Chains A and B, each alone.
Chain A
Amino acid sequence: MDALTRQAPVGAGSAPEAPAAPRLVPRRRTWRRALRRDWQLYSLAVLPLMFFVVFRYLPMVGNVIAFRRFRPGGSIFGETWVGLRYVRLFVSDPTFWQVFGNTLKIGSLTVLFCFPLPVVLALLLNEIRTRWLQRFVQSVTYLPHFLSVVVVAAIVFQVLSLDGVVNQGLAVVGHAAVPFMQQPGWFRAIYVSSEVWQTVGWGTILYLAALTTIDEDLYEAARLDGAGRWRQAWHVTLPGIRPTMMTLLILNVGTFMAVGFEKVLLLYNPLTYPSADVISTYLYRVGVVSGSFSYAAAIGLFESVIGLTLVLVTNAISRRTVGTSLW
């Protein structure tokens, strides 16, 4: 991705009729030549580019409705400018701050558990010397990754229902049944543990791959220096997988603001809104369900900008401190 930043973005239409720029003339000619020579190749890019323009970049521009009055059925870019009206509206909306807080809490808990646990599992898997056993544990723990979020939600409902296995366990220790899905106090724990259940195994793959690239000589040298297993893990293994860890951490932080929107939407209900409602579900209800598109777009834009900022900041910190960067 280095080449990407170094190369100046030269669009096909950027060169013509620029005055007194002798360097631009040959560049224009090479574009023409490139098009003539490679037109078949460029023709292959036309449909995919249309996809990106229509379904990725047009919605980005579509965010202007956050600052314009929008009429359903009218222009997708809205009708008249209203300035920061909708931004002011959500900043003074107590529900917005509540869902903002919930997003931060659920997001941080998710990163706190879903980021380090795959590292731990990968290190432990790596210690299994029996090949088939390792394969078996891997196959089993990868399995939930392939399930639809709807299925995961349905399983959560079944397992935590009043007659489900968790309440059976509680009954054994003499505890009364708990209506988990109706109590706001339980939502975060349920959300994060189902997330761990689904992602922890799959998350080990890249670490296991990184572990195989660590030079055996390093362990040998550490042993000669008298390092035990723990110190080998600390001084050889962890530094060996650090670039992978940082890359995945940055990507994790990037999805922080969006949290598992679909899963929250499936798991929550009005009773658990106080702890479960997050920015994305709130803007879904405000926009799609109630039809306040501009207001919802303003909230959504805020969410995307924070998400992008988090990625850039984490990436910058990672580049400064450990030298790992996404680009």
Chain B
Amino acid sequence: MRRSRGERVFTACNAVFLTGVVVLTLYPFVNIVARSLSAEHAIRTGQVNLRPLGFNLTTYRVVLSDSVFWTDYGNTVLYTAVSTAVSMVLTVCYAYVLSRRDVKGRGVLVGVAVFTMFFTGGLIPNYVLVSALGLRNSVWAIALPNAINVFNLLVMKSFFESLPVELQEAAAVDGLGTYGMLVRIVLPLSKAMVATMVLFYAVAFWNSWFPAFLYLDRAELFPVTIYLRNLIAGATAGTDQNAASDTALQIAANIQAVTIVLTVLPIMLVYPFIQRYFVRGLMLGAVKG
């Protein structure tokens, strides 16, 4: 079909507009990377835009040899692993119960979860509760209060519901109990979905900072998000900054950019591989949720 003039104009404008969107999205990233690699003088005088000026790796070297940074990075890995494991066990168990149409009281069990999407206790009662339970300064303060994400739960539930019932019926006839059914029939059929859920939770916990900010008082327990947060809040300089040497000035000028790059790097590296799982998970949740 031949395109009219109006359509060609539209296509051209659309291309220009979408190029603008792509540029605007990527601009800050490129700028931060450029700043992280530039010399102090160029940054201070506002010359660093998309290209590093006075290329140097001093600050990277300093941050990467800072033991606090590595401790915090290790904490992030630990918290993400523990929290994701807890979340997965609870989510899979509950989603499986909810997916069984024959279970009595199913409506109530679904309602218990869904209601919490629209009404929550709020910050203060949660804070009081977690403190009263003695969870402060432990990984449990991060893992337990946000263990089940109801959206993820509903995604998992609708996936389990989409599995053929006949398989489970046949397994029941063969004398397989509920636990066996879940572990030996349902989960092996849901590998891709389970992987998606692990990613959903892991990225959320990797990125989280507020529970850690609220409940962790000791510096050696902080995740790397708090390391970065303290940098932008000016609470700590990251490394000692008392000397007005050239190195110290260099570090002060681009330590935030360097830390941003180092924090985002793992997400960026896995992003091309995880993106489609996220999209699929989101759509699955939207269909039934």
- Chain A residues near B (Cβ < 8 Å): 1, 3-4, 6-7, 9-12, 30-31, 34, 38, 40-42, 44-45, 47-49, 51-52, 54-63, 65, 70, 76, 121, 124-125, 127-128, 136-137, 139-144, 146-151, 153-155, 157-159, 162-165, 167-168, 171, 177, 197, 201, 205-206, 209, 228-229, 244, 254, 262, 265-266, 280, 283-284, 287-288, 293, 296-297, 300-301, 303-304, 307-308, 311, 327
Contacts and interface: CB of A to CB of B under 8 A. Distances in A.
Interface string B1-24: 000001100110010011001101
A76 B231 contact: no
Contacts, number: 270
Given A62-B126, A284-B123, 18 more contacts: A6-B107, A12-B105, A30-B104, A45-B109, A55-B129, A58-B125, A59-B121, A62-B121, A62-B124, A65-B128, A137-B22, A141-B21, A141-B25, A146-B203, A150-B263, A168-B47, A229-B6, A297-B122
Contacts of A49: 94, 109, 112
- 10 tightest CB-CB pairs across the interface, nearest first? A59-B121, A62-B125, A148-B207, A7-B107, A48-B94, A40-B178, A300-B122, A59-B125, A34-B104, A163-B46
A56 B108 CA distance: 15
Interface string B49-80: 10000000000000000000000000000000
Given A140-B22, A164-B46, A201-B25, A158 B256 contact: yes
B94 A127 contact: no
A283 B126 CA distance: 13
Of the listed residues A12, A57, A62, A311, the one surrounded by the most CB atoms of chain B closer than 10 A to its CB is: A62
Contacts of A70: 128
A168 B232 contact: no
Contacts of B231: 154
Chain B interface residue number, banded: 35 or more
24 contacts: A4-B110, A42-B97, A45-B109, A56-B121, A57-B116, A57-B121, A59-B121, A62-B121, A76-B128, A76-B132, A146-B267, A148-B209, A148-B225, A151-B264, A153-B229, A157-B256, A158-B31, A158-B32, A159-B31, A165-B28, A229-B6, A266-B233, A288-B127, A296-B123
